[in-house]
Amino acid sequence: MLQRQKTERRSAATERGNPVQNNPNTTLITPTAPLAANTHGGRAKCLQRLVRLDMPVPRTVALSFEAVHRIAEGELPDIAAILGEFPPETLLCVRPSSEDPDWGGPGAVLNIGMNDARHREVCASLGAAAAAALYLRFVQAYAIHVARLDPDLFDEVSEDPAEGLAETLQAYEAETDEPFPQDPKEQLAGVLRSMARAWEGTSARLLRQAKGAPTDAGLGLVVQEMIPGLGQGECGSGVLQLVNSATGQPQVTGRYLSQSQGRDALGAGAAALYLARDARGPSLEEAAPEAFAALKAHAALMRQKLRAEMQVEFVIESGHVHILDGVRVARSSRAAVRIAVQLARDGIITPQEAVMRVDPHALTELLHRQVAPDARRDVLARGIAASPGAASGRIVFTSAEAQAAASRREACILVRRETSPEDIRGMHAAAGVLTERGGITSHAAVIGRGLGLPCIVGASTLKFNKGKKTLTAPDGRVFRDGDIITIDGSSGQVLVGQPDMLEATLDDAFQELMGWADDARDIGIRANADSPADAQTAANFDAQGIGLCRTEHMFFDPGRMTVMREMIFAQSPSGRAAALERLLPMQREDFTQLFRIMQGKPVCIRLFDPPLHEFLPATRTGQRELAEALDLPVSDVVRRIEAMEEYNPMLGLRGVRLGVTVPEIYDMQARAIFEATLAASKDGAPVVPEIMIPLVSARREVELVKARIDAVAAAVQAEQKRRFDFRLGVMVETPRACLRAAEFAPMTSFMSFGTNDLTQMTYGLSRDDAGRFMSDYVNQGVFPEDPFHVLDTDGVGELLKLGAERGRASNPGITLSICGEHGGNPESIAFCRSVGFDYVSCSPFRVPVARLAAAQLAIGHKICDS
Ligand code: PEP
Ligand code: MG
């Protein structure tokens, strides 16, 4: 019956050559009407698809972006012609149809056309209660959105629909000095005008821009015949979907409410029915099995034909199902992965499409614990979200306390003004780290990401009082050591107490998606890994090798720190040689483990980089302990430490400059690498180590270091009577190294761009201090983004391009990559791919994000080309 009505109406519309159909801005939705998401919005386009599938969709007219824009400017379309598309007694609703449903839009207005006369008729046909409820709903919506009356006016109206209606109409008249409009033309015009203007308002514009909408994003509107959902027989409304929005697993979910309209069922609590049979209460499946079966079939057909998991908005009218709308199912990141993978497994979309449908940024949520989306957040401060994931624990102010807490198996949050290499052990012991200072590439941030440890840096609105062991929030609340806080390293929020969490999940769907991504990808992804544990994480995430092993981190182990300090304090070459002799087996063991874990995949080991004084104790106690260990007076130790101090250590004696002036350190490291190569190759895949020289800026630096490394290689091969290959490369992280790349390239097998230091030096901006004012700079539009976070493709990027071109020109076979923190950032990967880099290297936990982002770039590129 319904089907026949629909076909008749459709052909009537075509035959009449009706005015709506002839008006380019207002279009009756038929299977062939000229409609597109970018002219009429996603909802209008989706409704057309449902009409094409012969679904029981009420008659609908779509208004284009252009029409709605004109309405906002005061030029109304032919309202009589729109109304003429519907039988005279029809009630209508108007819904927004923005290009992307996520951009939102004004709320729907239902029951347009209700007036005193219709009220009397509906009383006779559906009963007094239903008629009053329909009219009341419309009057309230009209009063608030069109006449712009204060919503509070209607707070006190009677619960009884008839009385409530009378009171509401009276209130309307009293406030506006006019009776409620009775003419459906005037009503529809008023609703269209108010919705069009709401979209153009400043707050709506800012809100949608925050969701990624362009400034000139358009709004379409759809005017649809109302199916009341109230009346005799089984009548009501609801929503249904075939998957669970949190997990993405198949599960019929949604609610249905008898005698209701719109999305009322979702807010109805216990009064609403479950859809499928449910132990918790009555269900639609039991109340109206045929309607339930029809709905499920419609939802399955939508999934199949619209190639997406959809939420169906429906009305049941005397047992008959009407489909009002279909919208993409709301989904958590975890559900997004499973939904995309399942659609591909079912052959509905291709694996490449599944890869394209998951936002790489969202993957981070799967890899770490998160604060549950519905948990209450008591935010005590905000900082820079430096390492994703959430952790709760007791506040501790020192690394020693963090270790003590760990030994009691107590979760703690290490709170420091900023961290230094001495805090590494404390960071390992803590559940999360919070610092007052620092930016996205500061020590705490880099180590936090490497360890997969939630971290917030630059929380400068918090007052840290180390002496009193207190943290004072901007609102004056004081927190002491032992108090429980939570840091959300994904949002940068510091929270009071311990909200509910969602655990990380790397399930079969995730693994399958990653496999498809790897099939599509055309740029390599390696991991920055400093320890066997990091390397294991990198291997678990299928990194194609290690792109940067920062060897200095291996010396922060307490057993090694003392030997390291002895080496630094050695007065003579023989004293230094003795200390290095003790460090050698430790380093050999480190590298052997890395090689074994990576099973023949490339491992790029960077020679020692930081200024030596970073290893020296900063506190009085530390200095006393060192004096004891070295059997020296404290005053000697203090004097030596002071003598090594530099005004600008990051631009001082570090990197290759140490290799040139204290060459024994690099000699020891090269020997450890080569001996580990032979050890690991003996019982595993052959290893070809990569040795990287940091912070180069002059050709001669490379010549000097290369000569010594070649000599060590020759010596180890002679001693062990076994051959091995190795690759020597430079880290390009000074502007001069980019400019003079042509000089370095012929001496090296690879160049890896260290974009942390390169950004620092290109901007002349300290990576450790920029966090203090970066938000001011970004808020005032000085920088579009924090350049330590998102690669500055204009400035730093130009240096990368120059370096790559000049390096390639003098050594066409050279391998190019980046290993700065930008390596895991999807936007930066796009740049690296466009410049033709061979791989990017990033923190182990960002490897999956990088794999997916790189795959999307390759697939997107193919689509553009075809
Ligand atoms: C860099 O400078 O980009 C880099 C990777 O090295 P580090 O962060 O250790 O200075
Ligand atoms: Mg560097």
Domain of 311, CATH number, reads 3.30.470.20
What would the mean pLDDT of 707-733 be, rounded to a whole number?
Answer: 98
Which has more pLDDT, 726 or 332?
726
Is 797 a domain residue? yes
What's the chain's average pLDDT? 91
Asked if residue 56 lies in contact with residue 297, where contact means CB atoms within 8 angstroms, the answer is no
Whether 773 and 811 share a structural domain: yes
Distance separating alpha carbons of residues 840 and 338, to the nearest angstrom:
27
Are 664 and 580 in contact by the 8 Å Cβ rule? The answer is yes
Of all residues in the chain, the percent with pLDDT exceeding 90 is 68
User: Exposed/middle/buried for 297, CB within 10 Å: 0-12, 13-18, 19+?
Assistant: exposed
Supply the pLDDT for residue 619. 84
Give the ligand at the shortest distance from the Cα of 606.
1
CA angle 805/807/813 to nearest 5° reads 105
Count the neighbouring beta carbons within 10 Å of the beta carbon of residue 2: 12
What are the tens digits of pLDDT across the range 260-299?
A: 888 888 877 778 899 999 998 999 999 999 999 999 999 9
Residues 206 and 318 in one domain: no
Shared domain for 221 and 261, answered yes or no, is no
pLDDT digits (tens, 9 = 90+) for 159-181: 888 899 999 999 999 999 999 99
- Ligand 1 atom showing the smallest separation from residue 609 Cα: 9
Q: What is this structure's pTM?
A: 0.82
CATH of residue 213: 3.30.1490.20
Instruction: Report the C-alpha gap between 765 and 29 in whole angstroms.
Output: 57
Residue 3 binned pLDDT confidence (cut-offs 50, 70, 90): very low
Known catalytic residues are 443, 819
Which residues form ligand 1's pocket by a CB distance below 6 Å?
446, 548, 550, 609, 733, 754-757, 819-820
Least confident of 1-15, 335-349, 822-836: 1-15
pLDDT surpassing 60 at residue 540: yes
Torsional sign, CA 546, 508, 510, 445: negative
Which atom of ligand 1 sits closest to the CA of residue 753?
3
Amino acid letter for position 755: T
Answer whether residue 149 is part of any domain: no
Rounded to whole angstroms, how far apart are CA atoms 303 and 343? Answer: 8
pLDDT, average across residues 22-42: 88
Indicate the top mutation candidate among 757, 762, 800, 841 to test ligand 1's pocket, ranked by most ligand atoms within 8 A of CB: 757
What is the pLDDT averaged over residues 583-601? 96
530 and 673 share one domain: yes
Of 469, 502, 535, the residue at which a domain comes to its end is 502
Cβ–Cβ under 8 Å, residues 443 and 421: yes
363 domain-assigned: no
**Token pair belonging to 408:** 């009691």
pLDDT given at position 12: 37
The reported pLDDT for the residue numbered 20 is: 61
Which residues belong to the annotated binding site?
550, 606, 733, 754-757
Q: How many CA atoms lie within 13 A of 421 on its CB side?
A: 20
Q: Which residue has its alpha carbon closest to ligand 1 atom 8? A: 756
The protein residue with its alpha carbon nearest to ligand 1, atom 3, reads 754
Backbone angles phi, psi at 863, to 5 degrees: -60, -45
What digits encode the pLDDT tens for the residues 474-514?
999 999 999 999 999 988 999 999 998 887 777 899 999 99
Q: How many CB atoms lie within 10 A of CB 407?
A: 9
Q: Flag whether pLDDT at 19 surpasses 60.
A: no
Predicted local distance difference test score (pLDDT) of residue 630 = 83
Instruction: Supply the DSSP string of 656-686, one letter for each residue.
Output: HHHHHHSTHHHHHHHHHHHHHHHHHHHHSS-
pLDDT score for 447: 86
| Ligand 1: centre distance to CA 431 (Å) | 25
Residue 676 lies in a domain: yes
Cα(768) to ligand 2 centroid in Å equals: 12
Mean per-residue pLDDT, 329-346:
94
Cα Rg of the chain, angstroms: 33
Query: What are the helix and strand counts (H, E) for the chain?
Result: 35, 30
Q: What is the pLDDT of residues 542-571, one digit of tens each?
A: 999 999 999 988 887 777 888 898 899 888
Same domain flag for 394 and 473: yes
Residue 483 lies in a domain: yes
* H or E element in which residue 221 lies: strand 219-225
- Provide the CATH number for the domain around residue 741: 3.20.20.60
| Ligand that comes closest to the CA of residue 824 | 1
Confidence of residue 13 (pLDDT cuts 50, 70, 90): very low
Position 627 pLDDT exceeds 50: yes
Write the Ramachandran bin of 389: left for phi over 0, alpha for psi from -120 to 50, otherwise beta: left
**Domain extent for 822:** 523-545+590-605+663-865
At 419, which CATH number?
3.50.30.10
Burial 478-508 (b: 16+ CB within 10 A, else e): ebebeebbbbbbbbbbbbbeebebbebeeee
Q: Give residue 609 CA to ligand 1 midpoint distance, Å.
A: 9
- Distance between CA 177 and CA 79 in Å, rounded? 25
**Residue 841 located in a structural domain:** yes
What pLDDT, on the 0 to 100 scale, is given for residue 155? 81
Determine the residue of 440, 528, 756, 758 to mutate for testing ligand 1's pocket, defined as the one with the most ligand atoms within 8 A of the Cβ atom: 756
Residue 767, H or E segment:
none
Residue 1: pLDDT band with limits 50, 70, 90: very low
Q: Which tokens go with 338?
A: 């499973």
What is the per-residue pLDDT for 866? 63
Q: 141 lies in a domain?
A: no
Q: Which of 739-748, 765-774, 810-819 has the lowest mean pLDDT?
A: 765-774
245 has pLDDT over 50: yes
The confidence score (pLDDT) of residue 164 equals 92
Binding residues for substrate: 550, 606, 733, 754-757
Question: What pLDDT does 221 receive?
Answer: 97
In ligand 1, the atom with minimum distance to the C-alpha of 820 is 3
Protein residue closest via CA to atom 6 of ligand 1: 754
For residues 85 and 210, membership in a common domain is answered with yes
Can you give the pLDDT at residue 561? 85
Q: How far is the CA of 756 from the centre of ligand 2 (A)?
A: 6
pLDDT for 707: 98
Asked whether residue 216 falls in the same domain as residue 268, the answer is: no
Same domain, 806 and 840: yes
Nearest CA to ligand 1 atom 10: 757
Sheet architecture: strand order including 463-465: 463-465, 470-472, 478-480
Average pLDDT over residues 523-536: 93
Q: Do the Cβ atoms of 135 and 119 come closer than 8 Å? A: yes
654 vs 660: CA distance, rounded Å: 10
How much is the pLDDT for 10?
40
CA–centroid distance, 446 to ligand 1, in Å, is 9
Place of tokens 């939705």: 29
Selection from 841, 839, 699 nearest residue 756 by Cα: 841
What is the total count of domains within the chain? 4
Please tell me the distance from the alpha carbon of residue 223 to that of residue 63, in angstroms, as a whole number.
8
**For ligand 1, atom 9, which residue shows the shortest CA distance?**
550
Tell me, what DSSP letter sits at residue 121? Answer: H
Strand partners, 98: 219
Q: Which amino acids are annotated as binding site for Mg(2+), given as ranges?
A: 733, 757
Q: What pLDDT does 21 receive?
A: 52
Regarding whether 671 and 594 lie in a shared domain, the answer is yes
Mean pLDDT over residues 123-149, rounded? Answer: 92
Compute, in angstroms, the gap from residue 759 CA to the centroid of ligand 2. 10
- Give me the helix-helix angle, 360-367 and 333-345, nearest 10°: 110
Alpha-helix residue ranges (DSSP H) falling in 183-331? 184-200, 202-210, 284-287, 289-306
776-787 average pLDDT score: 90
Band of pLDDT at residue 6, cut at 50, 70 and 90: very low
Tell me what pLDDT residue 391 has: 95
Over 50: is that where the pLDDT of 15 sits?
A: no
Q: Is 725 part of any domain?
A: yes
Q: Which pLDDT band, with edges at 50, 70 and 90, does 652 fall under?
A: very high
Nearest-ligand number for the alpha carbon of 450: 1
Give Cβ neighbours of residue 525 (< 8 Å, ≥ 6 apart).
Answer: 543, 544, 839, 840, 841, 842, 847, 850, 851, 854
What mean pLDDT do residues 672-698 have?
Answer: 95
Same domain, 209 and 255: no
Ligand nearest to the CA of 820: 1
Q: Is the pLDDT of residue 603 over 60?
A: yes
Q: 280 with 409, same domain?
A: no
Instruction: Return the closest-CA partner of residue 745 out of 797, 811, 650.
Output: 811
**Closest atom of ligand 1 relative to the 548 alpha carbon:** 5
- Which residue among 202, 225, 248 closes a domain? 225
Contact in structure between 701 and 693 (CB atoms under 8 Å):
yes
Q: How would you write 222-238 as a 3-class SS string?
A: EEEECCCCCCCCCCEEE
Asked if pLDDT for residue 188 goes beyond 80, the answer is yes
Report d(CA 576, CA 497) in Å as an integer: 50
Q: What is the mean pLDDT of residues 414-429?
A: 87
Ligand 1 nearest-atom number relative to CA 733? 2
Which of 306-320, 594-608, 618-632, 847-861 is the least confident region?
Answer: 618-632
Distance of CA 866 to the CA centre of its chain: 29
Give Cβ neighbours of residue 159 (< 8 Å, ≥ 6 apart).
none
Q: What is the mean pLDDT of residues 409-436?
A: 89
Q: Tell which one of 731, 752, 791 to mutate to probe ligand 1, the residue whose CB is within 8 A of the most ligand atoms.
A: 731
- The reply to whether 389 and 321 lie within a common domain is no
